[in-house]
Structure 1
Amino acid sequence: MSTSKRKRNDRNDGGGGGGNMNRPSNRHPQRHNSKNVNNDHQHTNHRFGRVMSQPPKLKLHRGASSSCHPTVSIAIPGSVVSNAQTRELQTQLAGQIARAAAVFRIDEIVVFDDGLGSQLTTLSNYRRGPTHRNKEKKDEDSEKRKSDDAHQDDEKPNNNEKEEKSPPHMQPSTDPHAFLARILQYCECPQYLRRKFFPMHPDLQFAGLLPPLDAPHHLRRGDVASFREGVVVDDEVSEGGSFVDCGVPNRLVQIDRVLTPGIRCTVQLDPHAYESRHKTQSNKGFIKGKVVSPTTPRDEDGQYWGYTTRLASSINSIFEECPYEGGYDLKVGTSERGDISIDDPQFCLKKKKASNKKAKLGGSSDGDGHFNHLLIVFGGVAGIEESVDADESMKLSGENSKNLFDIWVNICPYQGSRTIRTEEAVLIALSRLSPFIAKNGVAESQSKRKNRVEKTEDVVFSDESVSEESSDDE
C-alpha cells in the first residue's frame, strides 16, 4: 500500500469523510456512551426519514358508530383539466387532486360539468407529427411546405385517422370530466388490482407520473392486515364461497358467500389466518375471510379506506344524485366573494337553522348542529357563480349562488395572486377546514356519551322502604 492511500484511509476511518459522519471517532471514545453507540445503526438508516408504517387511525370512542366519523365529499369541475396544455400536465394535475383527497381523508369526489370546459387535445408533446413541425418553419417556405404535406397526407394516413380506426374503448378521451374521473379512480385502486380493472388505455399513457396515494388499503407485499381489497376470480367455487384475489402472494382468499366474478369487494381477515393454509381439491393453498362493507374499516377500526368517484352532469346534479340517505346535511361553497372568512372567530362547521341570521355567516346556533355528510364545492376558473349561470336546469342566478349552500366561505381572504387555481384551492380549503371537521366527530361522541348518562332508569320511591339517609330514631 502506498503512503497516499494509507493517509486517505486514515482520514476516512477518523470520521472526517462525508460518507462516514455517523461513525464514532476513535480519537475521543469518551464522548460516545453506550446509548449513542446502540443508536448508531438507527442514524445510518435515517431514523428521521423513515416511511410511516401505517397512517394514524381515527380515535374510536366506546359505543362509537359511523356517525362519529362524518363523511367528507368534495365537488370539482372537470374543466380544470382542460386548462392544462398537454396530457402530461393534465395527468399530474389529476394526481395532485387525488393526493390531497387521500391526505385529508376524503370519502367521495364528485366531478361535475360546469359547462365551461373545452375538449381535450389527443396529441402529446412527445408525439409531434410532420405537420406540427412544419408550422415552426419560416414564412417564406410556408406555401411549399403545405403543398408537400397535402401530397403526403393523400398517400399516408395521419395520426387522427389511426385514432378513428382504433376501437372506441381505446380512443383517448376528449371529455375532461371522463379523463379526470378515470385518473382519480386509477389512483385510488390498489396496485395489485389495477390490471384487473384498468386495461391499457390512452388516458393512462402517463400514469407513471402519478404520485402513489400510499393509503392504508394500498398494501405492500408481505403486509399483514385485517382488511384487504380484492377482486372475485373465476376459479373454482366450493360450497364455502367464492375465491378473491386480495394481493396475498400466491394465495387466494375464500369468502363466506358466492359473488359474481370480476367485482371488487372488501374482505376482513384474521391476522392469524396468514399463517394457516387450507387445501382445495386442486391442492392450492388459500386462507379464509368474510366480505364486509367498504365502510367497515373506517367504522370499526378508524382506518381511511379510500374515496369513491362520481360523475355529475351539472352542479345541480351534485345535490340531487347524492348517494347518502337524506342528502348532504351540510353544504359548503368556496368563493373569494364569501360571506364569511375562515379566519372569522365565529366560523364553525355546524348545521344551522334557516331562520337564524348567524347561520348564513357560519356562526354558532342552538342545538348540537353536528353533521354526518359534509360537502365542499369548488369552482373552476370562473368560480361557482359561472357554473350556476351555465346550468339551464336551475332558475337561480349566479349572483345568488350562495343560496345553494349552508356556508359561503372565503378560504383565503388575503391572497396575493389574482386567482387561486382549483388544485391549490383544494389543498388550502381542506387543510384549513380539517380542524373543524375533527371537532365535529369529537363533540358528537361526547354529546352521545352525555345523553347515555342522562338516560338512566327511573328510581321508584316508596314510603315503606327506609331511606339510607334516615336516622335510627326515625
Structure 2
Amino acid sequence: MKNLDFWAAIPDSALTDEQTMRDKTTKIAQFARAFSIFSISKVYIYRDRKYNYSTDRKLLKLILEFLDTPPYLRRSLYPKKDELRFAGLLHPLKSPHHRPAINPIKIKVGEIRQAVIVNTEGRYFADAGLGSLIPLEGSVFNDKRITVRFISEHPKLRCEVITRKDINDYWGYVVEETQSLTDLLQSVSNVVILTSRMGKPLEKFEEKLSQELKTTTNVLVVFGSPNRGVTEILKDEKRHPNEFTKYFLNFFPKQTTETVRLEEAVIGCLTLLNYLIQK
C-alpha cells in the first residue's frame, strides 16, 4: 500500500458473541484473513474495561500470531495446545512471507524467508523450512522467529538476519496489546480513524481523507466490539472520540440490517480504505 504502515485495532471483547471455541477460532481467522488481504502490518488488541476478557484476549493473540506464522515453522514454535485444536480447520493466509518448501538447490542469493533460530553447540543456525539447518552469519537477535536473507547458494548456503525495514514486500503483521483504547490513541500519530455507527458518513470526508492517506506514513483504524461501539468504550475511560481524531466515521450509513457484525465491519471498512488509498 504505497509504503504506508496500515494498522488496525480491535478490543479484547471482539469474541463476545461467539460461545464455542470453534466459533471463536473461526472468527479470529476471519480477522486474520482481512488483515492480511489489506496489508495490515500491526494489529492492536486493546482492553475493553467493562468486563474481564483476559481469556479471549490471550486467544486472539495466540491464533492471530499462529496464522501469521509460515506453516513450516509452526511445529517448532507452537507445541500442542487445547486452544489450537481447531486451527487445522482454518484456511491458510498464503501471505508473501509464507514461502513454500523448496529444494535448497533452488535458493538464490538475496532470497528472504522466515526462520527460527537454532543454537547448536554454541553456533547459531536458521531453520528456514529447507530440510536442513543453515549457518547464520552476523548479529543474532533474541527473537526466536526471524527473517533471513541468503548470502550464498548451494552447496554452501549461508544467511543473515534482517529486519522488516529491509523488506519491500508485505511481510505479515505483528500483534501488540495495549491497556486501554485511550492509551493506544495517545501513543500513535498521523491518521487515526474511529469506526462507529454514531460517526459521520464516510462520503463527507472521502476526498480529504483520500488525500491525507497519500501523504501520511501510517494510519490506524479502530473498531469497537460486537456489543459496544468505540464511543461507549471511550466513555468508560472518560474520553470522547473528538479528542483523538477528526475522522469519527460511519462506513455503513445506509445499512438495512439491525447490526453489522464485527468481522463484516473489518472487511468492509478495510475495503473502502484500500480504495481511498489507491484512488
User: TM-score over 0.5 for the alignment?
Assistant: yes
Aligned pairs for 1:27-426 (under 5 A) are 69-117=3-51, 175-222=55-102, 224=107, 226-237=111-122, 242-249=124-131, 251-259=132-140, 263-269=144-150, 273=153, 276-278=154-156, 287-298=157-168, 303-320=169-186, 322=187, 327-342=188-203, 346-351=207-212, 370-380=215-225, 381-391=227-237, 395-396=238-239, 400-426=240-266
Say if 1:350 and 1:371, in contact at 8 Å, map to a contact too: no
Larger Rg: 1
1:157 — aligned with what?
none
Determine what percentage of the aligned residue pairs are the same residue.
Answer: 27
Distance 1:345 1:175 in 2: 38
2:217 maps to a residue whose letter is N
Deviation at 1:260, TM superposition (A): 6.1
Helix, strand or coil: the match of 1:348? helix
Shift of the 343–401 alpha-carbon distance from structure 1 to 2, 3 Å rule, reads closer
2:251 maps to a residue whose letter is I
2:24 maps to a residue whose letter is Q
Distance 1:221 1:333 in 2: 40
Deviation at 1:437, TM superposition (A): 2.3
How many pairs were matched up?
273
2:81 maps to a residue whose letter is H
2:234 maps to a residue whose letter is V
TM-score, structure 1 length as denominator? 0.54
1:97-123 CA-partner distances (Å, limit 9, x unpaired): 00000101100010111124565xxxx
Helix, strand or coil: the match of 1:91? helix
Q: Give unpaired runs (5+ residues) of structure 2.
A: none
Aligned pairs for 1:422-461 (under 5 A) are 422-438=262-278
Q: Give unpaired runs (5+ residues) of structure 1.
A: 1-57, 59-67, 120-173, 279-286, 352-367, 440-474
Say if 1:75 and 1:376, in contact at 8 Å, map to a contact too: yes
Distance 1:218 1:342 in 2: 36
Shift of the 312–390 alpha-carbon distance from structure 1 to 2, 3 Å rule, reads same
Distance 1:336 1:93 in 2: 21
TM-score, structure 2 length as denominator? 0.89
Shift of the 319–343 alpha-carbon distance from structure 1 to 2, 3 Å rule, reads closer
1:167-213 CA-partner distances (Å, limit 9, x unpaired): xxxxxxx6211111111011111111112222222211211122211
2:184 maps to a residue whose letter is I
Say if 1:228 and 1:266, in contact at 8 Å, map to a contact too: yes
Shift of the 237–91 alpha-carbon distance from structure 1 to 2, 3 Å rule, reads same
Structure showing the higher strand proportion among its residues: 2
Distance 2:12 2:51 in 1: 7
Helix, strand or coil: the match of 1:175? helix
Deviation at 1:413, TM superposition (A): 1.2
- Higher relative contact order, chain-length normalized (CA < 8 Å, sep 6+): 2
Distance 2:165 2:266 in 1: 24
Deviation at 1:406, TM superposition (A): 3.3
